[in-house]
Amino acid sequence: MLIVKKFGGTSVANKERIMNVARRCTEDYKAGHDVVVVLSAMGKYTDELIAMAEDINEKPPRRELDMLLTLGEQMSVALMAMALDTLKVPAISLNAFQVSMHTTSVHGNARLKRIDTERIQRELENRKIVVVTGFQGVNKYDDYTTLGRGGSDTTAVALAAALHADVCEIFTDVDGVYTADPRLVPTARKLSEISYDEMLDLATLGAGVLHNRSVELAKKYGVPLVVRSSLNNSEGTVVKEEPTVERMLISGVALDTKAVRIAVIGLQDVPGTAFKLFDVLAKRNINVDVILQSIGRNGTKDISFTVDDKDLDEAIAALDENRQRLGYKELQSDRNIAKLSIVGAGMMSNPGVAARMFESLYNENVNINMISTSEIRVTVLINEQDGVKAMNAVHDAFKLAD
Ligand code: ADP
Ligand code: ASP
Ligand code: MG
């Protein structure tokens, strides 16, 4: 078997944990499997590097920030190969350049385009454990890029797809995917299985346990994906196309406190307004989520939407630059909001799911600012300070607890 194993920051945070990971990888290797290990930076090292950058320059050039951030993962893989050496297991560390992981050019949020597998395959044939840097890539200018925070999961799944691995195991600091973040909802329960689609929505809507693009890739290439703990041997959660366990109405609840709301007031109520507005943002690679348009009055209307807080400044600047063309009166932004979502394939065939969510929010006196739905999710925008209380209330209303 060819196994890709990815370990996150907490799992390699210190010497003991690195040795623990090394031992776990050795077990598979000694059982005769080919093992590729993908690592994140140790502990909170990526945050520390960002803080160092911002200490020198409040808005560090994105190319240079990526250059700096690649250090975190490079440190982990080298130390892991050294740890494996102490266990007398042949291993080699490789960074994105050495493998050749090609990405788009956007710094800080690049997408993997192609991975050359030749070098990795050669090392595997020589019976080495291959330890690869997560999170980083190389663009067409031969510059380092990074895949967005949490992007090592995506490196692992992309490698598993490119190498036709038998399984991709994501090891982290929780036992698997839960019905809600177990750190915020104490009654959350571990799921034994979840579909790619539900996991993709949960990941996109704030469940940071997996990088959303990793789920997208796993679905696209049918990569068998398992989320497990690096600290114990419990079963974990299998992410797959069609779960075999009985489907619950709701699989999970997610909270995203990084969303910010922008309101564009006094737009002309004519065809093309929304197109022009969102085109300005799309050209800058800014993702827009929940959108609300008011009913037109006196020839004008308002459009509100959410973006990630890291994109707020750029979104405002882009709208400002295009003020004449877009013809709005005023821009407002609000950081004090959170996005709360319920996700579940079961809701497709069950009316009343949204009503039950709204009722539980009403019981907690939580006001809803905006609502958006799809076949398998309901998202509401609420005040940030209500976030955790609302999440627990909704979670318990659907009886997802242990
Ligand atoms: P890693 O460094 O291993 O990539 P992350 O911090 O990125 O770890 O992801 C694991 C964290 O995701 C957990 O510690 C947990 O707090 C959080 N999390 C959020 N939503 C969920 C969920 N639905 N199930 C499990 N963990 C979740
Ligand atoms: N080290 C990177 C981060 O902190 C990538 C990852 O953890 O997946 O975002
Ligand atoms: Mg992560």
Average pLDDT over residues 140-159: 98
Q: Are 342 and 250 in contact (CB under 8 A)?
A: yes
Query: pLDDT value at position 91?
Result: 98
Q: Domain 2-173, what fold?
A: Carbamate kinase (3.40.1160)
Q: pLDDT category, 249, cuts 50, 70, 90?
A: confident
**Centre of ligand 3 from the C-alpha of residue 152, in Å:** 7
* pLDDT, tens digit (0-9, with 9 covering 90-100), for 283-314: 998 999 999 999 988 899 999 999 999 899 99
Does position 132 have pLDDT exceeding 80, yes or no? Answer: yes
Pocket of ligand 2, candidates 12, 149, 308: which has the most ligand atoms within 8 Å of its Cβ, to mutate? Answer: 149
Across residues 241-265, what is the average pLDDT? Answer: 90
Ligand 2 mutation target, pool 6, 39, 40, most atoms within 8 A of CB: 40
- So what's the pLDDT on residue 244? 80
| Confidence bin at 152 (pLDDT 50/70/90) | very high
Torsion of CA 107, 108, 111, 115, to 10 degrees: 80
Amino acid at 154: T
Q: How many A from CA of 46 to the centre of ligand 1?
A: 16
Q: Assess whether pLDDT exceeds 80 at residue 256.
A: yes
Q: What's the CA angle centered on 42, arms 41 and 46, to 5 degrees?
A: 50
Q: Which residue has the CA at smallest separation from atom 6 of ligand 2? A: 150
DSSP string covering 31-74? TT-EEEEEE--STTHHHHHHHHHHHH-SS--HHHHHHHHHHHHH
d(CA 225, CA 222): 9
The confidence score (pLDDT) of residue 401 equals 65
pLDDT > 70 fraction of the chain, expressed in percent and rounded: 99
How confident is the model at residue 402, as a pLDDT? Answer: 61
Beta-carbon contacts of 107 under 8 Å, excluding residues fewer than 6 positions away, are: 62, 63, 65, 66, 143, 145, 146
- Cα of 202 from ligand 1 centre, angstroms: 11
The rounded Å distance from CA 207 to ligand 1 centre is: 7
Residue % of the chain over a pLDDT of 90: 92
**For residues 347 and 232, what is the distance between their CA atoms, to the nearest angstrom?**
34
Query: Could you tell me the pLDDT band of residue 350, with boundaries at 50, 70 and 90?
Result: confident
Residue with tokens 């090392």: 123
Closest CA to 347 of 305, 394, 383, 386: 394
Token digits of residue 339: 């996005």
275 CB-near residues (< 8 Å, 6+ apart): none
In the three-class reduction of DSSP (H, G, I as helix; E, B as strand; rest coil), residue 11 is classed as: helix
Separation between Cα atoms, residue 172 and residue 134, nearest integer Å: 14
Phi and psi based region of residue 32 (left: phi greater than 0; alpha: psi -120 to 50; beta: remaining):
left
* pLDDT tens column, 56-95: 999 999 999 999 999 999 999 999 999 999 999 999 999 9
Q: Is 163 helix (H, G, I), strand (E, B) or coil?
A: coil
Instruction: Please classify residue 325 by burial: count the beta carbons closer than 10 Å to its beta carbon, then call 0-12 exposed, 13-18 middle and 19+ buried.
Output: exposed
Residues in contact with ligand 2 (CB, 6 Å cut-off): 8-9, 40-41, 46, 72, 134-135, 149-152
Average pLDDT, the chain: 95
- Residue ranges of domains in the chain: 2-173
For residues 277 and 267, is the Cβ–Cβ distance under 8 A? yes
Closest CA to 106 of 69, 75, 153, 138: 138
Closest-approaching ligand to the CA atom of 155: 2
Helices within 135-210 (DSSP H only): 152-162, 196-204
Ligand closest to 149 (CA) is 2
What is the per-residue pLDDT across 358-373, written as a single tens digit (0 to 9) for each?
999 999 999 999 999 9
Residue 392's contacts (CB-CB under 8 Å, 6 or more residues apart) are 184, 185, 187
Q: 133 near 96, Cβ under 8 Å?
A: yes
The per-residue pLDDT for 296 is: 83
37, 133, 119, 126: which is closest to 76 by C-alpha? 133
pLDDT of residue 349: 80
**Burial category of 268 from C-beta neighbours within 10 Å (exposed 0-12, middle 13-18, buried 19 and up):** middle
Strand partners, 305: 262, 291
Instruction: Convert the pLDDT of each residue in 198-223 to its tens digit.
Output: 999 999 999 999 999 999 999 999 99
Task: Look up residue 138 and give its amino acid.
Answer: V
Question: What string of DSSP letters covers 321-354?
Answer: HTHHHHT-SEEEEE-SEEEEEEE-GGGGG-TTHH
Gap from CA of 38 to ligand 2 centroid (Å): 11
pLDDT in tens, 5-18: 999 999 999 999 99
Mean pLDDT value across residues 256-271: 95
Average pLDDT over residues 157-166: 98
Token duo for residue 336: 């004090």
The number of residues in the chain equals 402
Provide the 3-class DSSP secondary structure of residue 309.
helix
- Residue 52 to residue 71: CA distance in whole angstroms: 13
For residue 348, what pLDDT is reported?
Answer: 82
